[in-house]
Amino acid sequence: MPYIKIWVHLVWATKNREPYFNNKALRQKVWKHIKANAETKGIYLDCVNGYHNHVHCLMSLNVNQTIAKNVQLIKGECSSWINKENLIPFKFSWQKEYFAVSVSHSMVQKVRDYIHNQENHHKKKSFDDEYNQFILKYGFQKFDDL
C-alpha cells in the first residue's frame, strides 16, 4: 500500500464574484455542507472557509484522487444543493476556474490559520487584491471569466 500525503490549498469564487455569501450564517451553512459532502465522497477536506464571494479549502489527496475530479465533485454538488435548497433567491453557480497550489507538510498549520481567519483577512484585503496576489505569487495566467 502506498503512503501518500499531498496537501492542496484550493480557492474558487462565485460566478462573477457576486457576494452571495454576505450573511455569516449562510456562509457557515454552505462551508459545513461542502465539508460533509466531500466526506461522503471520500474527499478529505481539512478545513473550509471563505468570505462573501469565494471559498478556501485545505484538501489532502489520496492515491486514487485528482485535484480536478475532487473540485468538480465538490463545486458541482454544492451549486446544485444551494439551488435545490433555495439558499440564494436566483440561480447560483461558481466560476469555472479555481486556484490549486501544493502545500508542504511544514506549512499546513499556517494555511489552516489563514483559511480559518478569512473574515479578519478580508477586512483588510479584498478578494480582488488576494486574487491578484495569488496570480503574481504563483505565476498563474489570468483568465477573463473570473
Q: At 32, is the secondary structure helix, strand, or coil?
A: helix
Domain boundaries, the chain: 6-138
Quick: pLDDT tens for 89-134: 999 999 998 999 999 999 999 999 999 998 887 777 777 777 777 7
pLDDT tens per residue across span 44-54: 999 999 999 99
Instruction: Give the integer Cα–Cα distance in Å for 129 and 123.
Output: 12
Please state whether beta strands 44-51 and 6-13 pair in parallel, antiparallel, or not at all (unpaired): unpaired
What is the four-CA torsion angle of 42, 43, 48, 54, rounded to 10 degrees?
-130
Give the mean pLDDT of the chain.
90
- pLDDT score recorded for residue 26: 97
How far apart CA 21 and CA 42 sit, in angstroms, is 26
Full 3-state SS string of 75-125: HHHHHHHHHHCCCCCCCCCECCCCEEEEECHHHHHHHHHHHHCHHHHHHHC
Enter the DSSP assignment of 16: G
Q: Establish how many alpha carbons lie within 13 A of residue 68's alpha carbon, considering only the half-sphere containing its beta carbon.
A: 0
The answer to whether the Cα torsion of 40, 44, 49, 53 is positive or negative is negative
Residues written for the chain: 146
Mention the CATH class of domain 6-138. alpha beta
Share of the chain above pLDDT 70, in %: 95
By DSSP bridging, strand 99-103 and strand 6-13 are: antiparallel
pLDDT of residue 146: 44
